[in-house]
Amino acid sequence: MLDYGLMTDTKYARRRLSDLHQTGTFVLVNVHDVGSAAIAQHAGAQAIGTTSGGHAYSIGRRDAAAELSREESIERAAAICAAVDIPVSVDAENGWGHEPEDVAKTIRLLMEAGAAGASIEDWSGSAERGFYESSLAVARIEAAVETANTPETGFVVCARADRLAHEGMSGFEETLTRLQDFATAGAGCVYAPGISDTAKIGRVVDEAGGPVNLLLGMNKALSVPDAAAMGVRRISIGSSLYQATMGAFFEMVQEALTTGSLEVATTVLDYELIESLFADRS
């Protein structure tokens, strides 16, 4: 049984997450709250990641900069870390600040919260400011790595280059250069959301200079074995698990309201099983 009130062995979790990036391929299951984290662990996940989108939607916010504060996000991350015995990597967006010292503070707080890793992106969160220029983007990753790499921890900094997700594949070469710079800066993983072309995935794997995270959504053409065959080390699912869950919820509610049927195609988890995932706090 998970004890929500006891922090897992963070040193072990960080070593485990670091090791997972070195050989083979693993799925970082993205969760949005403590309940989904506990269920992911029960299902056999080796590591979990938070999703800013899933978190935001679950509390009635948009997935946009300034919609979730650093304090809110770290509080939720700390609760997830305390509730599971597997590594947790946190979607830290832009680090909730533009300067390297802001990113360093975020990493330090996440380490204190029990996280085993975090992703930091080069999108400022502001359409007016746009992407951080190259030297600042690299300095921000350097600050994250310097804060994370203490003698006691193997905290994994995942450096994100987000241009392709915002502007399409025309920025591929620039994105690849950024990933290379981030790897040189010491990032434990590099990540460019928006790549689906197998040739370009292959180039990133071969040329980025570090372990690569690939975003795969539910019902997409590429599978986990496909990505593994290309040498991808880490596969994340983003907010698509949350979206799929809400899609199933929508269909079941609509069916109940329109036809009166409570028959569902999906598995209904036993009440007792769900109860068993959490400690008795009475």
pLDDT digits (tens, 9 = 90+) for 85-116: 999 999 999 999 999 999 999 999 999 999 99
Residue 270 inside a domain? The answer is: no
At residue 250, the pLDDT reads 97
Question: Amino acid identity, residue 199?
Answer: A
Find tokens 């959301």 and name the residue: 193
Residue with tokens 């040498």: 231
Residue 134 lies in a domain: yes
Residue with tokens 């997409």: 220
Confidence band for 64, pLDDT divided at 50, 70 and 90? confident
Q: What is the pLDDT of residue 282?
A: 67
Q: What is the CATH number of the domain that holds 152?
A: 3.20.20.60
52 part of a folded domain: yes
Q: For the chain, what is the domain count?
A: 1
Determine contact, residues 197/158, Cβ cutoff 8 Å.
no
What is the pTM assigned to this prediction? 0.94
Examine residue 2 and state whether it is found in any structural domain, yes or no.
Answer: no
Look at residue 264 and tell me if it is in a domain: no
In a domain, 190, yes or no: yes
Residue 245: inside a domain, yes or no?
A: no
In a domain, 259, yes or no: no
For tokens 């693993």, the residue is: 26
State the average pLDDT for the chain: 93
Whether the pLDDT of residue 255 is over 50: the answer is yes
DSSP 35-74: HHHHHHHHHT-SEEEE-HHHHHHHTT--SSTTTS-HHHHH
Percent of the chain with pLDDT over 70: 95
Buried residues in 198-231 as b, exposed as e (16+ CB within 10 A): eebbeebbeebbbbbbbbbbeeeebeeebbbebe
The residue range of the domain holding 63 is: 10-239
Confidence bin at 192 (pLDDT 50/70/90): very high
| Predicted local distance difference test score (pLDDT) of residue 152 | 64
